């Protein structure tokens, strides 16, 4: 049976455990996770997860027990997560870089009865933090997991529509939100990603992001559907990680827009020599993608780039496909899969479908998030083209209102990305007593080793934008040049709220 036909059949799995069990029966000896000198096959992942489930059962974990885990991207983390799925526990992954405020909030709000931590990891004592926070059932699960005889286990869960996952949106100026997912919503999200990318069992993927991110199950579902492996990176940094990409013959890499830029920067160090010889596709999502970046990757790296649109509440909404036109791949977020409904209301993207979360831990937030027809309000602005591709034009909070006129930050960012001296850029609105808000461009300047770099000024930036046809009332009135834009530790998204805080009092 062709890979695609197998994947479609597997996508009907009721639960994540059911999906793993079916894949392990089909290809037990094929590798699924690679890390350094270690590897797990599909069969070994199933068997180790069952033994670990038995160990957890002996500790008191039962179907419905809430278990939090804050673990790095490792083979053991995947085993633990599937062990909890085997038990039918409710698991709440926490990004390893979160500290007391976010972790304490997640533990309290989820009412976690157990908490798995890595001990001392990258110089930080997670066990001590857990005790400081008064966490219940703390146990270390970095390289040793509890195990026992699977004969003690109850039957695995048979339905996938109960809430068994609590993911956390990143808290910025407010507390994080606990997002409620089911096995079926995660399978639906991963299925969209898998089918769009046209992958096969001969591919080798990579996980350069935290496994505790919503992208973790999204990507793992893809591996289970198509039966190919991925390289796991406990700590991702370039150029150090390139050796692992080359060693394992990675064919598909990515993560988000920042990852594309990092790979492109490495390629520019040695033009004409493929930075990863086996690489054929960069793919990801999680942040806007400037059209200029798409064209640069395709031209300079010689690989295809497909970008998608997802969020913690809906892990995969749309995805570009390798057989899309270059224009669609450069300027859109791809098309939605069958079953994902997109509705545009007053410019806002709203969503309904199996991959959409069940809401939030806070019922008040849930009531606010869904409209009367059951569509999730995303807060993103966009439109759908005649070909069914989604174009995002920004976020509601990124619309700058200057003298009563709405200005899209994304429009200015896309144009600034075409300037040869701009590496990356974030455009924000800052409070202004005369204009309401003023337009501020915060730019990372490109460094070209051995070449003289043009110093960016407000005059050169506005001249470039004028030449590109930007309306005069949208031109930035403030320019800030920085060594690096502030980013989060997951998909390297730019944290605009920090820029607003930093420059709110600067002159305009």
Exposure b/e, 320-350, CB count within 10 A at least 16 = b: bbeebeeebbbbbbbbbbeebebeeeeebbb
pLDDT (0 to 100) of residue 338: 86
Of 396 and 383, the one with more pLDDT: 383
Structural contact between residues 265 and 231, judged by C-beta atoms closer than 8 angstroms: no
- Tokens representing 417 are 């990305």
CA atoms within 13 A on the CB side of 19: 31
- Confidence tier at 393 by pLDDT (50, 70, 90): confident
Cα separation, 272 vs 249, whole angstroms? 19
Structural contact between residues 289 and 298, judged by C-beta atoms closer than 8 angstroms: no
Q: Is the confidence at residue 454, as pLDDT, over 80?
A: no
Among 286, 287, 386, 283, residue whose Cα is nearest residue 329: 283
The alpha carbon of 263 is separated from its chain's Cα centroid by a whole number of angstroms, namely: 17
Q: Collapsing DSSP states into helix, strand and coil, what is residue 40?
A: strand
- Confidence tier at 11 by pLDDT (50, 70, 90): very high
Say how many Å lie between the first and final Cα of the chain, rounded: 64
Sheet with 230-232: list strands edge to edge.
Answer: 38-41, 31-35, 230-232, 205-207
Helices and strands in the chain, H and E counts = 16, 26
Q: Is the confidence at residue 508, as pLDDT, over 60?
A: no
Q: Report the run of H or E that residue 247 belongs to, with start and end.
A: helix 242-248
Among 148, 32, 38, residue whose Cα is nearest residue 83: 148
* Ramachandran bin of 302, using left for φ above 0, alpha for ψ from -120 to 50, beta for the remaining angles: left
pLDDT (0 to 100) of residue 174: 64
Per-position DSSP letters for 52-63, written without gaps between them: HHHHHHHHT--T
Which domains are seen in the chain, by residue range? 8-184 (3.40.50.980), 403-503 (3.30.300.30)
Sheet with 314-319: list strands edge to edge.
Answer: 252-255, 281-284, 304-311, 314-319
Among 26, 24, 21, residue whose Cα is nearest residue 6: 26
CA atoms within 13 A on the CB side of 132: 10
For the chain, the average pLDDT equals 92
pLDDT (0 to 100) of residue 121: 97
Any residues with CB less than 8 A from the CB of 338 and at least 6 apart, and which? none
pLDDT (0 to 100) of residue 1: 62
At what angle are helices 215-226 and 75-87 packed, to 10 degrees?
Answer: 90
Cα separation, 17 vs 268, whole angstroms? 43
pLDDT (0 to 100) of residue 453: 66
- Tokens representing 464 are 């470039």
The alpha carbon of 77 is separated from its chain's Cα centroid by a whole number of angstroms, namely: 17
- CB < 8 Å & 24+ apart, contacts of 456-459: 456/419, 456/421, 456/422, 456/481
* Ramachandran bin of 207, using left for φ above 0, alpha for ψ from -120 to 50, beta for the remaining angles: beta
Q: Collapsing DSSP states into helix, strand and coil, what is residue 86?
A: helix
Q: Is the confidence at residue 413, as pLDDT, over 70?
A: yes
- Bridge partners, residue 134, by sequence: none
pLDDT (0 to 100) of residue 455: 83
Among 385, 392, 402, residue whose Cα is nearest residue 291: 392
Cα separation, 199 vs 229, whole angstroms? 11
**Which is it for strands 38-41 and 31-35: parallel, antiparallel or unpaired?**
antiparallel
- Confidence tier at 396 by pLDDT (50, 70, 90): confident
- Bridge partners, residue 380, by sequence: 395
Structural contact between residues 79 and 142, judged by C-beta atoms closer than 8 angstroms: no
- Confidence tier at 504 by pLDDT (50, 70, 90): confident
Cα separation, 295 vs 304, whole angstroms? 9
Among 184, 164, 161, 194, residue whose Cα is nearest residue 12: 184
- Give, in degrees to the nearest 5, the angle at Cα 274 between 270 and 280: 150
At what angle are helices 458-467 and 409-416 packed, to 10 degrees?
Answer: 100
**Among 71-75, 281-285, 399-403, the least confident range:** 399-403
Structural contact between residues 92 and 106, judged by C-beta atoms closer than 8 angstroms: yes
Structural contact between residues 229 and 205, judged by C-beta atoms closer than 8 angstroms: yes
Detail the DSSP E strand segments found in 304-358.
Answer: 304-311, 314-319, 341-345, 348-352
- Bridge partners, residue 480, by sequence: 442
Q: What is the pTM of this model?
A: 0.85
Percent of the chain with pLDDT over 70: 97
- Tokens representing 426 are 């974030």
Tell me: the pLDDT tens digits for 220-278?
Answer: 999 999 999 999 999 999 999 999 999 999 999 988 888 998 999 999 999 989 999 99
- Tokens representing 33 are 């996770």
Backbone angles phi, psi at 251, to 5 degrees: -105, -20
Of 406 and 311, the one with more pLDDT: 311
Tell me: the pLDDT tens digits for 64-83?
Answer: 999 999 999 999 999 999 99
Tell me 472's DSSP state. G
Q: Is the confidence at residue 171, as pLDDT, over 60?
A: no
Cα separation, 228 vs 232, whole angstroms? 13
């Amino acid at each position: 049976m062709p890979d695609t036909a197998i994947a479609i059949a597997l996508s009907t799995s009721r639960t994540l455990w059911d999906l793993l069990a079916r894949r392990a029966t089909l290809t037990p000896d094929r590798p699924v996770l690679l890390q350094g000198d270690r590897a797990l096959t599909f069969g070994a992942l199933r068997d180790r997860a069952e033994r670990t489930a038995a160990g957890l059962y002996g500790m008191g974990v039962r179907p419905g027990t809430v278990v939090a885990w804050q673990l790095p991207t490792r083979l053991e983390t995947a085993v633990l997560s599937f062990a909890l799925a085997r038990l039918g526990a409710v698991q709440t992954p926490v990004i390893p870089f979160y500290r007391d405020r976010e972790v304490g909030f997640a533990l309290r709000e989820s009412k976690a009865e157990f908490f798995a931590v890595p001990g001392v990891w990258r110089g930080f004592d997670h066990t001590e933090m857990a005790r400081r926070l008064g966490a219940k059932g703390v146990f270390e699960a970095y390289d040793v997991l509890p195990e026992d005889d699977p004969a003690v286990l109850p039957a695995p869960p048979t339905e996938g529509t109960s809430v068994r996952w609590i993911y956390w949106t990143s808290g910025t100026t407010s507390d994080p939100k606990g997002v409620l997912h089911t096995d079926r919503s995660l399978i639906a999200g991963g299925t969209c990603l898998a089918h769009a990318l046209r992958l096969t069992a001969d591919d080798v993927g990579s996980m350069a992001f935290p496994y505790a991110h919503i992208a973790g199950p999204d990507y793992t579902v893809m591996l289970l559907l198509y039966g190919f492996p991925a390289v796991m990176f406990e700590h991702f940094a370039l150029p150090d990680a390139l050796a692992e990409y080359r060693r394992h013959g990675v064919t598909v890499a990515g993560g988000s827009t920042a990852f594309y830029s990092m790979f492109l920067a490495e390629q520019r160090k040695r033009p004409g020599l493929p930075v990863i010889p086996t690489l054929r596709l960069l793919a990801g999502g999680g942040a806007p993608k400037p059209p200029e970046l798409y064209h640069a990757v395709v031209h300079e790296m010689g690989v295809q780039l497909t970008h998608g649109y997802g969020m913690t509440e809906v892990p995969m909404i749309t995805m570009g496909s390798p057989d899309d036109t270059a224009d669609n791949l450069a300027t859109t977020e791809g098309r939605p899969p069958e079953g994902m409904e997109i509705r545009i209301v007053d410019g806002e993207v709203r969503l309904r479908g199996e991959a959409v979360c069940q809401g939030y831990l806070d019922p008040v937030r849930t009531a606010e998030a869904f409209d009367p027809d059951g569509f999730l309000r995303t807060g993103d602005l966009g439109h759908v083209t005649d070909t069914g591709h989604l174009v995002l034009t920004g976020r509601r909070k990124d619309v700058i209102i200057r003298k009563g006129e709405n200005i899209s930050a994304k429009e200015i960012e896309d144009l600034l990305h075409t300037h040869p001296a701009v590496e990356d850029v974030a455009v924000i609105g800052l409070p202004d007593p005369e204009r309401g808000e003023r337009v501020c461009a915060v730019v990372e300047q490109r460094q070209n080793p051995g070449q003289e770099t043009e110093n960016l000024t407000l005059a050169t930036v506005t001249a470039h934008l004028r030449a590109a046809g930007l309306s005069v009332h949208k031109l930035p009135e403030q320019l800030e040049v920085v060594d690096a834009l502030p980013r989060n530790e997951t998909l390297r998204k730019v944290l605009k709220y920090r820029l607003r805080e930093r420059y709110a009092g600067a002159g305009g």
